[in-house]
A and B are shown apart, each in its own frame.
Chain A
Amino acid sequence: MSDIYDIAVVGGGIMGSGAALRLAEGGMRVVLLEQGDIGQGASGVNAGTLSLQIKRVKLMPYALRGHQEWKRMGAEVDYRETGGYTLAFTDREADLLHERMTMKQEAGAPISFISPNEVAVREPGLCRKVVAASRCPSDGFANSSLTGRYYRHRLKAANIDVREHCSVAEIHRDEPGFTLQTSTGPVHARRLLLACGGWLKQAAGMIGLDLPVRARVNTVSVTERGPRLVSSVIGHATGLLTLKQKGNGTVLIGGGWQGLGQPGEGGNRGRVDAESVLPNLRLARYAVPGLKELRIVRSWTGFEANVPDFYPLAGAAPGVEGAFLLGCVRGGYTIGPFISKLMGDFILGRETELPLFDPARDFTKEIQL
């Protein structure tokens, strides 16, 4: 075996690509294997929202550092720090908003509450039915379509061996590590990082692990170009709306409404459910009345993996020496560029700036960080 890599990274999303870069920086010889194109999974089809207001409380330190990474990535990913508002339209939603945003404030996010009047002044395109609102000046967005292009260039510059359209079908343990059977032939590596997004359960199965990973099927829609309606990221107290207007005038509408299908099924990208895209559009139209002048040109779905406690899997694969797992990160687009670095540091044997999320934990217990 002449050609043995220090590590094989499976999955060319934001997690796999980010970790591969860190590992190469740390001196490892890295091969990255991607079944499709780099950054065409969740990382390339997500809503691009970089919002602290929709992050989980315990993930706030990771999200804050994620934001720093996005700032550095800047124009190449069309990063915009626009600030963001989260809106409540009923008293019940207002209570929810207060409870949630207060905890996030305490966790370090620069979130403040602002009056409906002030919202109306700052974002005149919003409806007048706001009863409570919060604001976070460091929220914003990037263009997830550019994830693939961005990482492809960086991976190339880092001399990482990137194999696109190369899907891993089987993984065997052998000396000195692993042999991966791929659609374009075998690959040998001493270590293994599975960063397979929605497909993580199947991939972990290849090394004998049965993980309780499930895939959610998130939906996003985009309008044709229109006149300026809003200038910041708009959210809803329940988290079921994220809305932003891009520089070109198109409006991107998301919020985690669920589509159909599962990883591995026809097309491998999930499908839109009309029954859930319509309420999503209605909520958007309610918040931003001017949307009624526009047409939706495309709705799509992508897979977002999670485990029962909805915290990341980031650490050593239980019981498989030399294998590591990275995935199931809620809000993973925001946190990805940071947590993937941590993962790289962990594999390199360095101390990590913040703790990782042990995949061997008990998913029924509240996580201890």
Chain B
Amino acid sequence: MAEQQTAIIDVLVVGAGPAGATVAIEAASAGRSVIIIDEQKAAGGQVWRAKSPAILSAPPTPESRAGDDLRQRLSTSEAVCLFDHRVWQIQPVDDGWMVALTGSKGPKTITAQTVVLATGAQERIFPVPGWTLPGVIGLAAATALMKGQMILPGQRVAVAGVGPLLPFVAHEIHRQGGEVAFVADLNGFADWSKRIPQMLRRPDLALRGAGWLARLRAAGIPLLYRHGIRNITGDGKVERVEVGPVDDQWKPADTKATRSFDVDAVCLGHGLAPATEATRMLNCRHHHDPALGGWHVTTDDLGRTSIAGIYACGDGAGILGAAAAPVRGRNTALAVLADLTDKARPPHSSATGNLRSVSAFGRAMTSLAIPRDGILDQITPETIVCRCEGLTRADVEAGITSGGISPNALKSDTRCGMGPCGGRFCQETAAMLTARLTGRRVEDIGLPTGRPPLRPLAIEVVASDFDYDELPIPAPAPL
């Protein structure tokens, strides 16, 4: 049966990226009992991801250095780390929150007075024809592959989408010896240059970005602004991709001006969206702010959600980027510590650090990826929208026009979002299609109900080792 832990801890942090790890370090140093959980094997999250042992000798980058520093501070703190563990359920109990998780030793529950959700962001990918072919990979996923294991997504790669990961991924592929066929950015040069003042708040990052672009250009790699992928084709895997110009709403324009490239992989991504599955499951209040990545949990300045005892910080509470994450973590630690001390009357703690200034760069990057309505026009009726269930745009639209106009109803009617990914890859497209077809705004469409498990739960792990006679079988129903 589940390994039971009797003592109630003070703080449980889910997610060991820069935000969550900072909360854990701060709360532990204030003498609180802290457990921090992450499904990865080490702290660092997506951005400061730890390298796999196989590539430890690779030269350090600013990210790997920041990550090493964070891992060092966390390991010397009193916080207990549970890596390689997955939280699947969080539920209220009398004295706080019961968190159910699985790890190498099977299922486990932990009870905590407060829970901090620092579960970060997830990759947003809008469908294009052919995007489900093997060889198409998300920009963030490609980043993880290259940072963690120095594995290239392919030998000749198309890099397309929006946001700062475009030049980063293209440059990494090039640096690690791969060939970049082209970089296609839905944004125009003007979209980028508008953000230069904000970007210059972090001259180091701005310079690095400029350096990447310069090197890509010097290598003769076509940098196609205001261009998007029209089509990815191949026999069972990516072989060819077609790109073409888009207008300022990202709608495909001028169909004659398309170009084809032979490639063996496509890195495709459209920015990041805050992870909401845990906060939706807990019924926390959410709101929609395109400038912060769309739907995210509503918090005060210090990360308090609408539910007492549940906190959120980092990109999950609105995308502000890596530099802001530790500051948000510190602020949330303040709130947690203050509330634990005086539960009856939450004292007024004030935020530390200037979140505005550290987040200026992140905000600029997030704003580059705010989806524009024309992106829907790259999705042909036959294009798969919900990969898990194999539903095309036409299928989803048929569900909407026949009356499935709320996320839950559309899900029931068509199965869109019902598969193992839990809607992570189709929910936003489905909501934008619903908005367009019903003449409403995306923020009026809402979110589907969040349900456990937060990650698919192996029956083997939670339901194999038990004694039949000890199943807590209630009295049978009345005859």
User: B-contacting residues of A (Cβ < 8 Å)?
Assistant: 36-40, 44, 54, 56-57, 89, 96, 100, 103, 145-149, 152-153, 156, 165, 223-224, 237-240, 256, 260, 266-267, 269, 271-274, 277-279, 281-286, 291-300, 310, 330
Question: Cβ of B408 and Cβ of A40 under 8 Å apart?
Answer: yes
Give which listed residue, A40, A238, A271, A296, contacts B409 with CB less than 8 A: A40
A296 pairs with B453, CB closer than 8 A: yes
Give min CB distance, A260 to chain B, whole Å: 7
Cβ contacts A to B, 11 pairs, < 8 Å: A40-B409, A148-B404, A148-B413, A149-B412, A223-B459, A224-B419, A237-B476, A260-B91, A271-B281, A274-B91, A274-B100
* Interface pair A300/B451, CB less than 8 Å apart: yes
Give the one of A96, A148, A282 with max B CB within 10 A.
A282
B78 to chain A, nearest CB (A): 27
Which 6 pairs, one residue from A and one from B, show the smallest C-beta to C-beta distance? A266-B283, A295-B456, A37-B409, A145-B412, A267-B283, A285-B463
Contact of A152 among B402, B408, B463 (CB under 8 A): B402
B329 at the interface (CB under 8 A from A): no
Asked if residues B464 and A292 are in contact (CB atoms below 8 Å), the reply is yes
Q: Which of B296-353 contact A (CB under 8 A)?
A: 307
Instruction: Say whether B403 contacts A272, CB under 8 Å.
Output: no
Q: Is B478 touching A56 in the complex (CB atoms < 8 A)?
A: yes
B468 & A89 in contact (Cβ 8 Å cutoff): yes
Q: Which residues, 71 to 115 on B, are CB-close (under 8 Å) to A? A: 88-89, 91-92, 98, 100, 107, 109
Min C-beta distance of B275 to chain A, whole Å: 17
Residue numbers in B under 8 Å from A38 (CB-CB): 403, 409
Interface residues of B in 405-431 (CB under 8 A from A): 406, 408-409, 411-413, 415, 418-420, 422
Q: How far is A79 from B205 in the complex, measured between Cα atoms in Å?
A: 59
Nearest-neighbour CB distance to chain B for A294, whole angstroms, equals 6
B146 at the interface (CB under 8 A from A): no
A286-B468 Cα distance, complex, nearest whole Å? 8
Q: Say whether A278 contacts B476, CB under 8 Å.
A: no
B449 within 8 A of partner (CB): yes
Select one of A89, A146, A152, A294 contacting B459, CB under 8 A: A294
Name A295's contact: one of B92, B403, B458 (CB within 8 Å). B458
Task: Determine whether B460 belongs to the interface, using a CB cutoff of 8 Å to chain A.
Answer: yes
User: Would you call B451 and A299 a contact (CB within 8 A)?
Assistant: yes
By secondary structure, the B interface counts as: loop
B473: Cβ under 8 A from any A Cβ: yes
Which of B89, B403, B404, B449 contacts A267 (CB under 8 A)? B449
**Is B54's beta carbon under 8 Å from chain A?**
no
Contact of B91 with A149 in the complex, beta carbons under 8 Å: no
Contact A100-B456, Cβ < 8 Å, known A266-B283, A274-B91, A282-B466: no
State how many angstroms separate the Cβ of A77 from the closest Cβ of chain B.
12
Any chain A CB within 8 A of the CB of B53?
no
Query: Does B404 lie within 8 Å of A149, measured CB to CB?
Result: yes
CB closest chain-B residue, reference A295: B456
Name the B residues within 8 Å of A237 (CB-CB): 476
Contact B413 A279 (CB under 8 A): no
Query: Smallest Cβ distance from B471 to chain A, in angstroms?
Result: 5
Contact in complex: A44, B449 (CB < 8 Å):
no
Kindly list 16 other residue pairs between chains A and B, CB separation below 8 angstroms, not including A37-B404, A282-B466, A297-B420: A37-B406, A37-B408, A37-B409, A39-B412, A56-B477, A56-B478, A148-B409, A156-B403, A165-B406, A224-B419, A240-B476, A282-B462, A285-B459, A294-B459, A297-B422, A300-B449
Provide the B373-415 mask, 1 if CB < 8 A to any CB of A, else 0. 0000000000000000000000000000011101011011101
User: Contacts A57-B479, A292-B464, A298-B451 given: A279-B459 contact, CB under 8 Å?
Assistant: no
B452 located at the interface, meaning its Cβ lies under 8 Å from any Cβ of chain A in the complex: yes
B439 on interface, CB distance cutoff 8 Å: no
Count of residues in B whose CB is under 8 Å from the partner chain: 48
In the bound complex, how far is the Cα of B451 from the Cα of A269, in angstroms?
Answer: 10
- Residues on A with C-beta less than 8 A from B355 are none
Closest to A238 in B: B476
CB distance from A49 to the nearest CB of B (A): 13
B: residues with CB less than 8 A from A are: 2, 88-89, 91-92, 98, 100, 107, 109, 281, 283, 307, 402-404, 406, 408-409, 411-413, 415, 418-420, 422, 449, 451-453, 456-460, 462-464, 466, 468, 471-474, 476-479
Chain A residues within 8 Å of B460, by CB: 292-293
CB atoms of A240 and B464 under 8 A apart = no
| Chain B residues positioned under 8 Å from A284 (CB to CB) | 459, 463
Min C-beta distance of B169 to chain A, whole Å:
30
Chain B residues with Cβ below 8 Å from A89 are: 468
A340 to chain B, nearest CB (A): 20
A273: which B residues are within 8 A, CB to CB?
A: 91
Q: Which residue of A lies closest to B415 (CB)?
A: A145
Contacts of B462 in A (CB 8 A): 278, 281-282
Task: Specify which chain A residues have a CB less than 8 angstroms from the CB of B479 in the assembled complex.
Answer: 56-57, 100, 103
Q: Which residues of A contact B88 (CB under 8 A)?
A: 274
* Interchain CB contact (< 8 A) of A272 among B89, B411, B456, B471: B89
Nearest to A290 among chain B residues (CB) is B459
Select A260's contact among B92, B107, B418, B451, beta carbons within 8 Å. B92
A269 to B109 Cα, complex, angstroms: 24
Would A292 and B283 count as touching, CB distance under 8 A? no
Q: How far is the CA of A39 from the CA of B404 in the complex (A)?
A: 11
Shortest distance from the beta carbon of A71 to any chain B beta carbon, whole Å: 22
Which of B107, B415, B473 contacts A238, CB < 8 Å?
A: B473
A152, A260, A283: the one within 8 Å of B471 (CB): A283
A278 and B459 form a contact (CB under 8 A): no
User: Which B residues are CB-close (under 8 A) to A224?
Assistant: 419-420, 456
Q: Which of B402, B411, B419, B459 has the most CB atoms of chain A within a 10 A radius of its CB?
A: B459
Known contacts being A152-B403, A285-B464, A292-B464, is A278 close to B408, with CB within 8 Å? no
Q: How far is the CA of A57 from the CA of B307 in the complex (A)?
A: 44
Q: Chain B residues with Cβ under 8 A from A283's Cβ? A: 471, 473
Residues in A neighbouring B415, C-beta threshold 8 A: 145
Question: Which residue of B has the minimal Cβ distance to A306?
Answer: B478
Residue of A nearest to B98 (CB): A274
- With a cutoff of 8 Å between Cβ atoms, the chain B residues found around residue A310 in the complex are 477-478
- Bound together, the chains give a CA A294 to CA B462 distance in angstroms of 11
CB neighbours (8 Å) of B456 from chain A are 224, 295-297
From residue B299, how far is it (CB to closest CB) to chain A in Å? 17
How distant is B465 from chain A, measured CB to nearest CB, in Å?
9
* Complex CA distance for A269 and B411, rounded to whole angstroms: 16
CA gap between A294 and B466 in the complex, in Å: 18
For the complex formed, measure the closest distance between the CB of B106 and the CB atoms of chain A, giving whole angstroms: 11
Closest to B479 in A: A57
* Option from B281, B406, B411, B463 in Cβ contact (under 8 Å) with A278: B463
Whether A291 and B413, one on each chain, are in contact in the complex, defined by CB atoms closer than 8 angstroms, is: no
Distance, CA A36 to CA B403, complexed state (A):
13
**Chain A residues closer than 8 Å to B283, beta-carbon distance:** 266-267, 271
Q: Please indicate the chain A residues that have their CB under 8 angstroms from the CB of B92 in the complex.
A: 260
Q: Is B403 a contact of A149 with CB atoms below 8 Å?
A: yes
| Smallest CB separation, A216 vs chain B (Å) | 10
A297 to B419, CA, bound (A): 7
- Write the nearest CB–CB distance from B168 to chain A, whole angstroms: 32
CB of A284, distance to nearest CB on chain B (Å): 7
- Taking a contact as CB atoms under 8 Å apart, the answer to whether B2 and A278 are in contact is yes
Q: What CA separation (Å) do A283 and B2 show in the bound complex?
A: 15
Residues of B within 8 A of A266 (CB): 283, 307
